[in-house]
Amino acid sequence: MMLTGDNILIAKEIGRQVGIGDKIIRLEEIKGLSEDEQVKIVGEIDGLAEIYPEDKYRIVKLLFVLLGIYGIFVPSLTLHQVMVVLAFSALFTLGRSSQWR
């Protein structure tokens, strides 16, 4: 899952180039939907583009709901700690990819 503040066209191209996929939408496209609808859509896409820093907590919460782990450990971590974990996870995945060797 790619989360970026980049323009949608740039995000799709980067997603294609690094193998994440190009099923990327603007966050604005799901903002007015219910949480259940947002979780469903987030589970079907490769990323969100044109996000702002203030949107990150909401997106991380949706990801945790999608993964079924929201109540387990989000309260024990700050948003910053969660973002660091997600960033290291992404870097580890990219590092193991043959495209990056």
Condensed to tens digits (0 to 9), the pLDDT of residues 51-89 reads: 988 887 788 777 777 766 555 444 455 555 556 656 655
pLDDT (0 to 100) of residue 60: 78
pLDDT (0 to 100) of residue 74: 47
pLDDT (0 to 100) of residue 50: 93
* Other CB atoms within 10 Å distance of the CB of residue 47: 22
* pLDDT greater than 50 at residue 5: yes
C-alpha distances in angstroms, 60 versus 34, 51, 65, 95?
16, 12, 9, 23
d(Cα 60, Cα 74) in Å, to the nearest integer?
Answer: 9
* pLDDT greater than 80 at residue 34: yes
